[in-house]
Amino acid sequence: MMFSFVFRSFFLAILTILFSVSFVYSDDMDFHKLTEELAQEISEPLETPGIFQSAAAWYPKALNYWEKEYYLGPNARQDHAEAEKWFRRSAEQGNADAQFGLGTMYFLGQVVQQDYEEAEKWFRKAAEQWMPEAQFYLAGMYLLGNGVPQNKKEAEKWLQRASERNHDQAQFYLAGMYLLGNGVAKNYRQAEKWFQQSAENGNVEAQFYLGSMYFFGQGIDQDNAKALKWFRQAAGRGQAKAQFYLASMYLLGAGIQQDDTEAEKWFRRAAEQGLPEAQLYLGYMYFFGRGVSQNYREAGKWLHRSAQQNIPQAQLYLGHLYFFGQGIRQNYQNAEKWFRRSAEQQIPGAQFYLGHMHFAGEGVTQSYSEAEKWFRKSAELGYPEAQYRLGLMYETGEGISLSLQNALQWYLRAAQQGQDDAQNRLGLMHEAGKGVKQNFKQAAQWYLKSAMRGNAEAQSNLGLMYETGKGVQQNLKTAITWYLKSAAQGYGRGEYLLARMYEYGKGTHKDFAEAVRWYHRSGEHGYADAQLYLAKMYYLGKGVPQNYQEAERWYRQAAEGGNAEAQFRQGLMYYLEQNSQ
C-alpha cells in the first residue's frame, strides 16, 4: 500500500540532526548510590526513535472517485501507474492533495524515477496552498538538504506554517528546534509552547519531551506535577522513554510518593519494549531486591539483554554475576568477557575487576603487568578500590617496582574518597615511619577515619593506640570499646587484644573465663598469638580446667601458624622428650 513506509529513514535522519543523546552511568554496586545518581543519568532525553508515523493517514483526500478506485479502491487492483497518471492530471490543475501525492511518489521513486527536485517542486506547490502535510515534508527536505540546499531557516519557516495549522508533528519539530537552538535562537518558552500544543494534539513524543522539560526545569520552572502528568500520558500510550522516566520518578520519590513496586512496573514495560536503560534498571531491581523479591537469575536475564545492547553498566553487573556465581553458574571466562567490554567503555569498576582477575589469575593467565594496567586505568578514573590496590602493589613491590612514595600517593587519593583500607594503610605507614616521617598522632587520625567506616583492622589498631597512649591520650576503656567493635566483626587480632585486657585486668576487672572465650574465638579465626595464649591458659588451668592435651593442640596450631614462641616450645618439647629416652 502506497505511503506505508513513507520517509522512515528520512525522518530518522532529521532526528539525528535535531536531538542529541547522553547517558551517564554510575559505577557502584550500592543501590542507594545508584538511585542518588539516577537523576543525573536521565538529565538528557534518551535517544529519540523515528517519531514520524506512516504517511498513509495523510494521502490526498480530494481525488476523484476513479483516482481512489485505481489507487486504494476495494474493487480494483492497486495500480501505482494509474495512480500517478491521475495524481498528475489533478496536480496540474492545482489540487493540493494530488500535488502532495505526486511529490511523495517522486520522493520515494514509485513508478517515476526518484527525483528530489521534482518532489520539492510538488511539495512546494501544495505547501503554498497551505496544506500542512506538504509544509511539514517540505520543511524536512530543507532540514536535510534533500533536493534543495540545506536551509534550517527555511525549514523553520515551513514548520511554523504547518504548526499554525495545528499539525502536531510540525509543532513537535519546531519545538525541538527552539529547544536546541537548531537553526533558530534557543528559546525555551517557544519550545514549551509548541511541545504543549503538539502534546495536546496527542503527539506522544511531544508529551514525553514536555514532561522532560518540566521534570528538569529545562529553561522553564521545574514542575514535577506537570512532568508527572505528561509522562503518565505518554507512558500509558506505550512510549518507552516516558515509561522509563515515570519509573525513575517513582524510584526516586521525585514529586510523587516513593514506590519501588510502581517503579518496577514501569521499568518492566519499557524493558519489554527493548529500551536498554530500562532493562538495566529492571536488572538492578532484581539484583538488590527492590520492588521485587531478590532474584539474581532474573537480574541476569535483564542485565544480559541490556549488556547485549552495549550498555556498559549492565556489562559490569553481568560480569559480577558470572564472577561470583550469583543466580548463574560461576564462569570466570564469561565474567572476564563482560568486564572487558565494560572496561573498554571506560567503566572504572569493570577495569578494577579485570585488574583483580589478572592479579589473582582467576579465569585469565596470571599477569601482574596486566593487573597493574587495569588497576591504573581504573585508579586514574577515580575508582578508590583500584587506587588502594595500586598503592598496595607499590608498597609491597608485588608485580611492580617498590615505591613507598607512589604507595602513599595512591593510598591518599583513595583515603580522601573514604576508602577505609587505604586509610588504615596510611595509619600503619605513619605509625611505622614507612616512606614518611613517623607520626603517631597522624597514624591515630587515619586509624580513626578507617575505624569509623567499620574497618575491623583499623579498629584494633586504634584500640592499641589508646591502650599504649601512642598519638592519643591513654584511655584503656576507649581501647576496650574499639577492641569490642573489631572483635564483634570476627577479626582475630581484635579478639586477641580484647582477651588480653580481660586476662590482665586492663581497663576492666580480671576475668580469665572471658579472656579464654576471646582467645578461643581468635584462635578459631587462625590468629597464632591467641592460640599461644590459649594453650597457656589450658596448661595453667586459668579460666578453664587444666588440660595438657588441649594445651598441646593449641601450641601446635600456634606453631604451625608461625608464632615463634610456640615453635620454640614445640622444639623444646621434642628435644627434652628425645633426651629423656
**Cα–Cα distance for residue pair 140/103, rounded to 1 Å:** 13
Tell me which range, 57-61, 124-128, 408-412, is most confidently predicted by mean pLDDT. Answer: 408-412
pLDDT bracket for residue 77 (50, 70, 90): low
Fold of the domain spanning 1-165? 1.25.40
Residue 27 has pLDDT above 70, yes or no: no
Listed residue (483, 468, 568, 547) closest to 534, CA to CA: 547
579 has a pLDDT exceeding 50 = yes
pLDDT for position 105: 86
Express each pLDDT in 411-452 by its tens digit.
999 999 999 999 999 999 999 999 999 999 999 999 999 999
Domain 492-581 superfamily per CATH: Tetratricopeptide repeat domain (1.25.40.10)
Equal CATH topology for 1-165 and 223-345: yes
- Number of Cβ atoms within 10 Å of the Cβ of 408: 21
pLDDT bracket for residue 455 (50, 70, 90)? very high
157 contact partners, CB below 8 Å, separation of at least 6:
139
| Residue 35 confidence (pLDDT) above 80 | no
What is the CATH number assigned to the segment(s) 223-345? 1.25.40.10
| DSSP assignments along 36-54, one per residue | HHHHHHTSSPPPP---PPP
Map 341-354 to HEC letters. Answer: HHHCCCCHHHHHHH
Residue 18 confidence (pLDDT): 38
Rounded mean pLDDT of 31-56?
A: 42
Judge whether 220 and 192 are in contact, CB under 8 Å. yes
pLDDT digits (tens, 9 = 90+) for 238-297: 999 999 999 999 998 988 999 999 999 999 999 999 999 999 999 999 999 999 999 999
Whether 474 has a pLDDT exceeding 60, the answer reads yes
List of residues 6+ apart from 17 with CB closer than 8 A: 143, 144, 182
Lookup result for grid cell 578494577: 352
* Listed residue (117, 65, 67, 59) closest to 87, CA to CA: 67
Per-domain boundaries in the chain:
1-165, 223-345, 492-581
What's the pLDDT score for residue 571? 85
pLDDT tens digit sequence for 164-216: 999 999 999 999 999 989 889 999 999 999 999 999 999 999 999 999 999 98
User: Rounded to two decimals, what is the model's pTM?
Assistant: 0.79
Residue pair 426/434 in contact (Cβ under 8 Å)? The answer is no
Q: Count of residues for the chain?
A: 581
Which of the listed ranges 20-29, 133-142, 422-431 does the model predict with the highest average pLDDT? Answer: 422-431
